[in-house]
């Protein structure tokens, strides 16, 4: 099983078609919507994580193309700008996975990227503006 | 064996002073006892690095030609006070930019000045015979200003409530992001390292006390606003609840953004992290006993910020030791805790102040006047408009 994050751009005439349903049904892809902006008869944008076999992901993406849905695979991570950080700990108040944690006796912030769920709560919680979302394609 | 301020200052001058941080002192007391620690140590350094909204700076720009009596003033689009003499102003930390909203405010103007950045000064006036000019737009830097000093009417809280949120929605407050259904608890002091936990009865801290303020040598100017001192706050010599505050003053030209940092709290606004260190002389064993206080001995209360009233419900009393452990018990659940005050930065300040004193670069100043022994924090009486 693999995971990819994808931006999908739906042309206005496709927003009423059950395209995501087909991705799930026909290609067995697990679908986790990260962000969506879809309205009838307007250009729509969907940001989602797809999980499935490599083959099915490829087929699913091919199906999107056939339907006239533009897509881009992207990666997302949270960046910690350490130079701006004062190690106050405000971000640890909201971090659900404890990826952001105050390290023992030193009271120094540590960030374990492998534990990060990308919920982005820390981005808003940080008073020093030291946490950012980085999206790269 | 009591020591006086003068004797300690002579030791500083002669390079014979013994200085330790408050945390080091407490460990020493636990090893050797109060009496021995009082003999060995002359000065204990305390510190805090926390967001403090009641902060700001007085600035003097000098006169343009022709001169202007600035009545409306903006610094990088942040309104500054125009009700002083012609080219004096006060820029408050929480004043927001008229163009950039929550992300930029007075606190950021102060940090930009400290970082040596150019700040746009825009001012308007109605024009007078002596000050004919009606508008000006130019740039200033910290070096250009005749005077620039922080004057923070309320800093160095003796103690402060811990916060939680019992509602079903996330709250964005000056106590940080509070998760729904009491999902977290935030607190905001450096605990046993914090200055006013270590001199709870103000024997050595008063008007005129020399302090470390944002990298400069500053002073305690006055009691802080909302200064509370009464029997409830201090019981058996230990601070129990939110208490006294200090007004502090210091020259911005000697400060650094290493110790003064602008911040913005989501959906609340801007504020200033202020780094303050206060040296406390170990005058005698009584003073040493105060300085020996540990996180397990000092308490605050967990308050429900989900109730949008002046008097918010207190859910429980909690020690700093428990807050610092990473979780507290609340309504039978284990709730994670998080600090908002940087203990790491506070420790950096306490260490720096210790070395400044050891090197004979920082002397103690005995208060020239004691602070009030009673302080009440009265609510605003709302009177019906006639």
Q: Rounded to an integer, what distance in angstroms lies between the CA atom of residue A3 and that of residue A1?
A: 7
Polymer length of chain B: 386
Is B130 a known active-site residue? Answer: yes
pLDDT band at B345 (very low <50, low <70, confident <90, very high): very high
Mean pLDDT of B180-184: 97
Q: Of A86, A102, A125, which is closest to B273 when you measure between CB atoms?
A: A86
> Distances in Å between the alpha carbon of B41 and those of B13, B17, B19, B23, B285?
16, 8, 6, 13, 11
Alpha-carbon gap: B271 to the closest alpha carbon of chain A (Å): 9
Check: CB of residue A46 under 8 Å from CB of residue A38.
yes
Q: Of B261, B271, B338, which is closest to A92 when you measure between CB atoms?
A: B338
pLDDT band at A49 (very low <50, low <70, confident <90, very high): confident
Alpha-carbon gap: A3 to the closest alpha carbon of chain B (Å): 29
Q: Which of A4-13, B33-42, B321-330 has the lowest mean pLDDT?
A: A4-13
Asked whether residue B236 carries a pLDDT value surpassing 70, the answer given is no
CB contact under 8 A, B344 and A128: no
CB contact under 8 A, A88 and B103: no
Q: Of B186, B261, B271, which is closest to A93 when you measure between CB atoms?
A: B186
Helix, strand, coil fractions of chain B, as percent rounded to 5: 20, 35, 45
Amino acid A73: pLDDT: 86
Asked whether residue B238 carries a pLDDT value surpassing 90, the answer given is no
Q: Rounded to an integer, what distance in angstroms lies between the CA atom of residue B8 and that of residue B200?
A: 21
DSSP letters along A55-72, please?
HHHHHHHHHHHHTT-EEE
The chain A residue lying nearest B270, using CA atoms, is A127
Residue with tokens 């979302």: A133
Domains A2-68 and A79-131 equal at CATH topology level: yes
Q: Which fold has domain A2-68?
A: Alpha-Beta Plaits (3.30.70)
Mean of the per-residue pLDDT values for chain A? Answer: 89
Amino acid A104: pLDDT: 81
Asked whether residue B232 carries a pLDDT value surpassing 90, the answer given is no
* Residue to test with chain A: of B184, B343, B345, B348, most A Cβ within 10 A: B343
The chain B residue lying nearest A121, using CA atoms, is B177
Residues B187-217: pLDDT tens digits? 999 999 999 999 999 999 999 999 999 999 9
The chain A residue lying nearest B269, using CA atoms, is A127
Amino acid B162: pLDDT: 96
Amino acid A125: pLDDT: 96
Partners of B261 on chain A (C-beta within 8 Å) are 86, 128
Residues B241-282: pLDDT tens digits? 678 999 999 999 999 999 999 999 999 999 999 999 999 999
The contact set of A with B (CB < 8 A) is 86-90, 92-94, 102, 106-108, 121, 124-125, 127-129
Alpha-carbon gap: B341 to the closest alpha carbon of chain A (Å): 5
* Residue to test with chain A: of B53, B94, B177, most A Cβ within 10 A: B177
Residues A90-108: pLDDT tens digits? 999 999 999 999 988 899 9
CB contact under 8 A, B172 and A127: no
Mean pLDDT of A20-34: 89
Alpha-carbon gap: A105 to the closest alpha carbon of chain B (Å): 10
Mean pLDDT of B325-330: 96
Alpha-carbon gap: B193 to the closest alpha carbon of chain A (Å): 13
Peptide bond into B66 cis (omega under 30): yes
pLDDT band at A46 (very low <50, low <70, confident <90, very high): confident
- Say whether B198 sits in a helix, a strand or coil: helix
pLDDT band at B3 (very low <50, low <70, confident <90, very high): very high
The CATH number given to A79-131 is 3.30.70.20
CB contact under 8 A, A127 and B341: no
Q: Rounded to an integer, what distance in angstroms lies between the CA atom of residue B61 and that of residue B217?
A: 23
Amino acid B53: pLDDT: 97
Residues B71-116: pLDDT tens digits? 999 999 999 999 999 999 999 999 999 999 899 999 999 999 999 9
Amino acid B239: pLDDT: 62
Q: Of A89, A124, A129, which is closest to B340 when you measure between CB atoms?
A: A89
Q: Which of A33-47, B204-218, B330-344 has the lowest mean pLDDT?
A: A33-47
CB contact under 8 A, B177 and A124: yes
pLDDT band at A35 (very low <50, low <70, confident <90, very high): confident
Amino acid B167: pLDDT: 97
CB contact under 8 A, B265 and A127: yes
Asked whether residue A16 carries a pLDDT value surpassing 80, the answer given is no
Alpha-carbon gap: A57 to the closest alpha carbon of chain B (Å): 36
**Which of the residues B53, B130, B182, B188 is marked catalytic?**
B130
Mean pLDDT of B12-18: 98
Q: Of B103, B338, B345, which is closest to A90 when you measure between CB atoms?
A: B338
Mean of the per-residue pLDDT values for chain B? Answer: 95
Query: CB neighbours of B300 closer than 8 A, spacing ≥ 6?
Result: B159, B160, B161, B162, B187, B189, B241, B242, B317, B318, B320, B323
Residues B138-175: pLDDT tens digits? 999 999 999 999 999 999 999 999 999 999 999 999 99
ipTM here: 0.92
Domain ranges of chain B: 5-53+152-358, 62-145
Partners of B342 on chain A (C-beta within 8 Å) are 86-89, 107
Amino acid A38: pLDDT: 79
Domain ranges of chain A: 2-68, 79-131
């Amino acid at each position: 099983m693999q995971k990819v994050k994808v931006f999908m751009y739906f042309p206005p005439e496709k927003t009423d078609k059950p395209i995501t349903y087909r991705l799930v049904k026909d290609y067995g892809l697990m679908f986790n919507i990260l962000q969506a902006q879809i309205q009838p008869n307007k250009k729509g944008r969907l940001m989602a994580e797809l999980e499935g076999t490599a083959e099915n992901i490829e087929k699913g993406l091919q199906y999107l193309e056939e339907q006239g849905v533009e897509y881009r695979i992207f990666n997302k991570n949270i960046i910690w700008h350490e130079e701006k950080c004062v190690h106050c700990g405000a971000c640890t108040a909201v971090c659900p996975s404890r990826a952001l944690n105050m390290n023992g006796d030193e009271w120094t912030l540590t960030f374990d990227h492998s534990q990060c769920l990308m919920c982005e709560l820390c981005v808003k919680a940080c008073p020093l503006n030291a946490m950012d979302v980085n999206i790269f394609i | 064996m009591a020591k006086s301020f003068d004797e300690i200052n002579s030791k500083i001058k002669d390079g014979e002073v013994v200085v330790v941080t408050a945390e080091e002192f407490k460990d020493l007391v636990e090893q050797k006892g109060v009496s021995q620690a009082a003999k060995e140590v002359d000065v204990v350094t305390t510190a805090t690095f926390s967001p403090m909204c009641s902060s700001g700076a007085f600035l003097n720009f000098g006169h343009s030609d022709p001169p202007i009596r600035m009545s409306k003033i903006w610094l990088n689009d942040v309104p500054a006070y125009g009700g002083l003499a012609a080219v004096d102003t006060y820029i408050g930390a929480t004043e927001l930019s008229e163009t950039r909203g929550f992300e930029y405010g007075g606190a950021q103007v102060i940090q930009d000045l400290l970082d040596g950045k150019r700040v746009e000064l825009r001012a308007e006036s109605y024009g007078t015979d002596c000050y004919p000019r009606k508008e000006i737009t130019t740039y200033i830097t910290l070096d250009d200003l005749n005077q620039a000093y922080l004057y923070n009417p309320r800093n160095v809280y003796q103690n402060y409530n811990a916060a939680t949120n019992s509602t079903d929605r996330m709250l964005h407050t000056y106590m940080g992001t509070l998760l729904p259904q009491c999902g977290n608890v935030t607190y905001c002091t450096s605990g046993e390292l914090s200055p006013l936990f270590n001199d709870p009865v103000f024997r050595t801290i008063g008007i005129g006390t020399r302090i470390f303020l944002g990298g400069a040598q500053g002073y305690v100017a006055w009691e802080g606003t909302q200064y509370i001192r009464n029997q409830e706050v201090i019981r058996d010599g230990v601070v129990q609840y939110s208490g006294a505050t200090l007004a502090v003053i210091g020259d911005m030209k000697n400060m650094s953004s290493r110790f003064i940092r602008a911040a913005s709290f989501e959906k609340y606004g801007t504020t200033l992290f202020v780094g303050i260190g206060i040296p406390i002389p170990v005058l005698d064993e009584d003073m040493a006993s105060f300085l020996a206080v540990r996180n397990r001995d000092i308490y605050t209360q967990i308050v429900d910020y989900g109730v949008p009233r002046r008097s918010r419900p207190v859910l429980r009393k909690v020690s700093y030791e428990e807050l610092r452990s990473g979780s507290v018990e609340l309504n039978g659940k284990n709730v994670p805790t998080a600090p908002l005050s940087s203990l790491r930065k506070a420790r950096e300040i306490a260490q720096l102040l210790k070395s400044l004193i050891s090197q004979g670069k920082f002397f103690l100043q005995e208060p020239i006047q004691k602070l009030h022994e009673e302080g009440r924090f009265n609510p605003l009486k709302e009177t019906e408009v006639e």
